C-alpha cells in the first residue's frame, strides 16, 4: 500500500473511519482539523493506524491501493509498434510469464541502471469503452549510495542496492499501432521495449514529436513554461543569442518574449509545461518532443493516467493523419527513432536521414503516380518557409537534387544502393558504362565531391568526359548526375518494407524503384499471380527442337573446357565485335574448331540448338542480351535473358553478391524492369545465364525481385550451359543450319 499517495490515504481514512476514534488515537484536539493533522503524520504512522483498526477500513484502503500501482508521479512514453500481437495470444503468453515470475526475466548486467524486467501481473482489460489492455511489468532499478555513518566499517564506501519498481504498459485495442508505457525512470524504457520484443514479438520504438504535434497535444491547456532551441542560423532576433532558452510566466501567452520566439525563424519549441489540460483533472502536464515524453508532477490514479494516455493517442492519430497529407518530413520525423537495419547493421546519422528522404520520395512518387491531379500536399509545400520542405518539394517537382544524389552515392554502401552510369549512343541506344580493359560494369562513386566511375575488377577510373562507346562513337558525360542509374539491394528493400509496416496512417509500399538521373521511378509491372521460377527445359523450343530434357552429354570435362573459353561476346576486335562482324558471322555456320577455341559467343551458341540467330553485340535498344519468342504450357511468351561469360578460374564455385558479374546482372535486371515499366519492353520471362554456380541467396534475391514485379524468373545455370554447348556441338558436327 506504499504506492497510495498520502492525500488519497487521508481521504480514504476520513471517509471510512470513526472521527472520534481518530481524535483519541492521534491525540487531535477538538478545535484542530482532523484532515490537516493527519496530513502532518507520516505514511508509516497512518498505515499503523489502519493495521490497528483493520476490518472494513483496511479492506477499503487495500482496494484503493489497486488504483495506484505506481509509487510516484510517472512519465508517459508513447511507443510505436510495427507488428502488434493478437490480444488472445498476448494474454496467454503473459499468463505464462507471470507464473514463471523473475525466473523468466530479461536480465542485464548489475552495472546497468536497470538490472531486470519481468511480468508482475498478466494482461488485463482496464477500460471497456474504448477497450484498453494493461500489462504490469516490474523492473529492478539500481540505486547507488555512500555509507555516511562514521561508526560503520563501510563508512565512505559506495554500494548498490536495487529497488523493485512497476511500469504500466497500456495497449488500446482500436489502434494497436501505439501503446503507452508509464513509469518513473527513462532508463527503464529501452529494457522494457527489449523485453516486449523478446517475449511478445512487439517491435517497439519511441517517436519524436514535431513542434506542431506538441501544440496539438497541448491544445486546450494553458502554457506556463516553454523551452526553445535554435535549429538553424537564420535567426531574426539579434537580442536573443542563446542556443537554448526557457521562459516561465503565469501568463506566458501574453509575454512578448514568448511570442517573439514562437514566430522567430530558425528557432523551435522543444518542450513546455501546461496547466488545465483537458485530459487531466488536476495538476498539469509537461510535454517533451524528444522521445514523445509526457510527464506530470501529480501522483495520479490508474484511471486518470489511462484517460490522459488515451487522449494523447487520439490527438496523435489526428496529427499523423494531417502530416501524412501535408508534411511527409514531419511524418518521417515522428518515426526517426524507429530502428532501420540494412542487413544486420542499424542505420544512424546521415545515412539514416537519407533513408527517411528515400521514404518520402517513395510515398510522394506513389501518390503522384496514383493521383497526378490530386497531389494534396503540393500547395502546402510551396507555401512553407521550412528550408527542408522547400528542398523536398523541389525534389518532387523537379527531380532529386544533385546534392541529394551526391549524398546517396557517398553513403551508397551503408544504404544498400548500387549505382552505375549510362550513356546514349546513336548506334547502340542507351547502354551501361563498362570498363575498356575488362568489360566489367563500372560503379559510380564520389571522390573529392565529384562523381567518378571505377572498375570493380581492375580498380581503374574512367574519364567520363572523353568516354567512347564500344562502337567508337564519342559519348562524353556532359551532366554525370543525369546519367546515373541507382537501384536498391534486397536488404534495403527489406528495410523499406519493415518501415512501411510501422507507419500510421498506413501507407502503400510501392515496392521496387530505381533512380534514373534526377528522378525516382517506381517499377510497376503486370499483376501476375502466376509468375514463378521456370526451367529452360519447360520452354517449348527447348522441348520440341533441342530436346534439352532428354539430352545426355558425352565428355562433360571437355565440354566444360570449351565453356570456360567461350565469351559473352567473341574476342574479335579486342573483345567487342562491330555490327558488321556479327552480321558476317551469322551468314555462315561456325566450325568445330571455332567452337573449341572459344570463337563462338555464348549468345550465338544459345540459339543454335533451337534454330535462332542471336548475335554477340545485340545492337538494338533491347534490354536483355537474348530476347525471343517461345511457348510455356502451350501459350506464347516472350523471354529475355541477361548473359555473362564465366567468372573466375573455377566454374563450379558459387558466385556471391560481391562478385562484379553478379552485380552487373542485378543492374541489368533492374534496368530491364525499368524499361518494361516505361513501356519500352514487353517480357513474360526474364532471367540470367552464366556458366558458373551462383549462391542460393543471390538466386532467391533475384527471383524475389522479379516475382514482386510480376514476371517469371529463369536461370540458365552451369549444368544447363554444358548441355547447350553439347547440343550446339552436335548441330555443328552434322552441319545442321538454323532454320
pLDDT attached to residue 377: 46
Cell output for 698? 543471390
pTM of the predicted structure, to 2 decimals: 0.84
Confidence of residue 394 (pLDDT cuts 50, 70, 90): low
Select from 218, 222, 225 the least CA-distant residue to 311.
218
Is 675 or 526 the better-scoring residue by pLDDT?
675
pLDDT band at 521; cut points 50, 70, 90: very high
Which grid cell sits at 720? 544447363
Please give the Cα distance from 550 to 576 (Å, whole number): 35
User: Which segments of 203-327 does DSSP mark as H helices, in order?
Assistant: 211-217, 256-263, 302-326
Q: Give 529: exposed, middle or buried? Use CB within 10 Å, 0-12, 13-18, 19+.
A: exposed
Residues 344-384 pLDDT 10s: 999 999 999 999 999 999 998 888 876 543 444 444 444 55
Measured at the alpha carbon of residue 625, what is the angle toward residues 621 and 626, in degrees to the nearest 5?
110
Q: What is the pLDDT at residue 392? A: 53
Is residue 665 helix, strand or coil?
helix
Alpha-carbon distance of 505 to 518, in angstroms, equals 29
| pLDDT recorded at residue 237 | 60
Q: What angle do CA 717, 553, 564 make, to 5 degrees?
A: 50
Q: What's CA 275's distance to the chain center, in Å?
A: 38
pLDDT of the residue at 547: 93
Confidence of residue 175 (pLDDT cuts 50, 70, 90): confident
Bridge-based pairing state of the strands 712-716 and 533-534 = parallel
Strands of 30-94 (E only): list them: 75-81
**pLDDT, tens digit, 9 for 90 and up, residues 82-104:** 877 788 999 999 999 999 999 99
Q: What is the pLDDT of residue 650?
A: 61
Residue 427 has pLDDT above 80, yes or no: no
pLDDT at 617: 57
- Over residues 111-120, the mean pLDDT reads 95
- Which are the contacts of 527, defined by CB distance < 8 A and separation ≥ 6? 710
State the residue for C-alpha cell 491544445. 219
Residue spans of alpha helices (H) in 264-377: 302-326, 328-334, 349-370
Comparing 398 with 339, which gets the higher pLDDT? 339
**pLDDT (0 to 100) of residue 738:** 44
pLDDT of amino acid 264: 85
- Its sign, for the CA torsion 655, 658, 662, 666, is positive
pLDDT at 373: 38
Structure-model confidence comparison of residues 383 and 225, the more confident one: 225
For 277-317, the pLDDT digits (tens) are 999 878 899 999 999 999 999 888 899 999 999 999 999 99
pLDDT band at residue 170, thresholds of 50, 70 and 90?
very high
pLDDT band of residue 621 (cuts 50, 70, 90) is: very low
**Alpha helices in 371-504, H assignment, sequence order:** 378-383, 387-398, 402-410, 412-415, 490-502
66: nearest Cα among 142, 12, 15, 144: 12
Express each pLDDT in 543-570 by its tens digit.
999 999 999 887 888 998 888 888 887 6
Q: What confidence tens digit (pLDDT) does each residue in 120-142 have?
A: 999 999 988 889 999 999 999 99
Q: What pLDDT shows up at residue 638? A: 96
Name the percent of the chain lying above pLDDT 90: 50
What is d(CA 611, CA 330) in angstroms, rounded to the nearest whole number?
59
CA distances from 175 to 135, 178, 266 (A): 17, 7, 35
Question: pLDDT averaged over the chain?
Answer: 87
> What percentage of the chain has pLDDT greater than the value 70?
91
pLDDT digits (tens, 9 = 90+) for 9-55: 888 889 898 898 898 898 998 889 999 999 999 888 998 888 888 88
What residue has cell string 565512505? Answer: 156
Contact 188, 141 (CB under 8 A): yes
Report how far residue 164's alpha carbon sits from residue 518's, in angstroms, rounded to the nearest whole number.
Answer: 56
Q: What angle do CA 596, 601, 602 make, to 5 degrees?
A: 100
Amino acid at each position: 500500500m506504499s504506492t497510495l499517495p498520502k492525500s488519497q490515504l487521508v481521504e480514504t481514512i476520513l471517509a471510512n473511519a470513526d472521527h472520534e476514534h481518530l481524535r483519541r488515537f492521534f491525540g487531535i484536539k477538538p478545535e484542530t482539523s482532523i484532515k490537516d493533522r493527519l496530513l502532518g503524520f507520516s505514511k508509516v504512522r497512518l498505515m499503523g493506524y489502519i493495521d490497528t483498526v483493520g476490518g472494513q477500513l483496511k479492506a477499503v484502503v487495500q482496494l484503493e491501493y489497486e488504483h495506484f500501482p505506481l509509487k510516484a508521479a510517472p512519465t508517459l512514453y508513447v511507443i510505436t509498434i510495427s507488428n502488434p500481437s493478437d490480444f488472445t495470444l498476448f494474454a496467454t503468453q503473459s499468463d505464462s510469464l507471470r507464473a514463471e515470475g523473475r525466473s523468466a526475466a530479461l536480465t542485464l548486467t548489475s552495472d546497468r541502471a536497470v538490472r531486470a524486467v519481468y511480468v508482475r501481473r498478466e494482461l488485463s482489460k482496464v477500460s471497456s469503452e474504448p477497450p484498453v489492455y494493461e500489462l504490469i511489468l516490474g523492473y529492478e532499478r539500481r540505486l547507488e549510495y555512500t555509507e555516511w555513518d562514521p561508526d560503520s566499517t563501510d563508512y565512505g564506501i559506495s554500494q548498490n542496492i536495487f529497488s523493485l519498481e512497476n511500469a504500466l504498459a497500456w495497449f488500446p485495442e482500436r489502434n494497436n499501432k501505439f501503446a503507452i508505457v508509464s513509469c518513473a525512470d527513462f532508463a527503464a524504457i529501452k529494457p522494457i521495449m527489449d523485453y516486449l520484443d523478446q517475449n511478445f514479438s512487439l517491435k517497439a520504438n519511441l517517436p519524436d514529436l514535431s513542434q506542431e504535434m506538441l501544440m496539438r497535444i497541448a491544445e486546450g491547456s494553458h502554457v506556463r513554461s516553454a523551452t526553445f532551441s535554435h535549429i538553424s542560423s537564420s535567426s531574426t532576433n539579434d537580442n536573443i543569442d542563446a542556443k537554448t532558452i526557457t521562459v516561465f510566466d503565469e501568463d506566458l501567452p501574453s509575454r512578448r518574449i514568448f511570442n517573439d520566439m514562437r514566430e522567430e525563424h530558425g528557432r523551435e519549441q522543444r518542450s513546455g509545461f501546461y496547466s488545465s489540460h483537458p485530459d487531466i483533472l488536476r495538476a498539469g502536464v509537461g510535454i517533451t518532443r524528444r522521445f514523445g515524453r509526457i510527464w506530470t508532477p501529480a501522483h495520479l490514479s490508474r484511471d486518470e493516467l489511462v484517460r490522459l494516455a488515451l487522449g494523447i493517442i487520439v490527438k496523435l492519430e489526428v496529427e499523423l493523419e494531417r502530416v501524412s497529407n501535408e508534411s511527409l518530413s514531419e511524418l518521417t520525423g515522428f518515426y526517426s527513432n524507429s530502428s532501420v537495419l540494412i542487413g544486420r547493421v542499424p542505420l544512424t546519422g546521415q545515412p539514416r536521414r537519407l533513408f527517411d528522404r528515400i521514404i518520402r520520395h517513395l510515398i510522394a512518387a506513389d501518390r503522384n503516380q496514383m493521383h497526378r491531379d490530386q497531389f494534396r500536399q503540393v500547395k502546402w509545400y510551396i507555401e512553407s518557409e521550412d528550408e527542408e520542405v522547400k528542398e523536398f518539394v523541389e525534389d518532387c517537382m523537379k527531380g532529386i537534387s544533385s546534392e541529394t544524389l551526391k549524398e546517396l552515392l557517398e553513403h551508397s554502401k551503408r544504404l544498400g544502393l548500387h549505382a552505375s552510369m549510362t550513356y546514349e549512343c546513336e548506334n547502340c541506344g542507351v547502354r551501361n558504362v563498362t570498363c575498356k580493359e575488362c568489360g566489367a560494369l563500372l560503379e559510380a562513386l564520389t571522390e573529392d565531391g565529384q562523381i567518378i566511375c571505377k572498375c570493380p575488377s581492375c580498380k581503374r577510373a574512367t574519364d567520363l568526359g572523353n568516354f567512347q562507346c564500344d562502337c567508337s562513337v564519342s559519348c562524353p558525360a556532359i551532366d554525370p548526375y543525369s546519367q546515373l542509374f541507382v537501384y536498391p539491394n534486397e536488404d534495403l528493400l527489406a528495410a523499406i518494407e519493415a518501415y512501411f509496416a510501422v507507419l500510421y496512417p498506413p501507407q502503400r509500399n510501392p515496392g521496387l524503384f530505381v533512380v534514373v538521373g534526377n528522378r525516382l521511378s517506381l517499377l510497376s509491372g503486370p499483376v501476375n499471380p502466376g509468375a514463378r521460377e521456370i526451367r529452360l527445359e519447360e520452354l517449348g523450343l527447348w522441348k520440341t527442337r533441342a530436346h534439352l530434357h532428354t539430352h545426355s552429354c558425352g565428355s562433360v570435362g571437355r565440354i566444360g573446357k570449351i565453356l570456360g573459353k567461350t565469351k559473352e561476346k567473341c574476342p574479335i576486335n579486342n573483345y567487342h565485335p562491330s555490327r558488321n562482324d556479327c552480321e558476317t558471322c551469322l551468314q555462315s555456320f561456325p566450325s568445330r574448331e571455332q567452337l573449341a577455341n572459344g570463337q563462338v559467343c555464348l549468345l550465338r551458341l544459345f540459339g543454335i540448338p533451337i534454330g535462332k540467330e542471336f548475335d554477340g553485340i545485340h545492337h538494338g535498344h533491347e534490354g536483355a542480351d537474348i530476347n525471343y519468342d517461345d511457348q510455356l504450357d502451350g501459350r506464347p511468351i516472350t523471354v529475355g535473358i541477361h548473359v555473362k561469360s564465366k567468372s573466375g578460374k573455377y566454374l563450379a564455385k558459387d558466385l556471391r553478391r560481391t562478385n562484379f558479374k553478379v552485380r552487373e546482372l542485378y543492374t541489368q535486371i533492374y534496368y530491364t524492369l525499368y524499361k518494361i515499366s516505361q513501356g519500352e519492353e514487353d517480357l513474360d520471362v526474364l532471367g540470367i545465364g552464366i556458366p558458373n554456380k551462383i549462391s542460393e541467396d543471390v538466386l532467391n534475391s533475384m527471383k524475389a525481385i522479379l516475382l514482386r514485379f510480376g514476371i517469371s524468373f529463369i536461370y540458365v545455370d552451369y549444368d544447363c550451359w554444358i548441355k547447350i554447348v553439347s547440343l550446339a556441338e552436335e548441330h555443328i558436327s552434322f552441319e545442321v543450319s538454323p532454320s
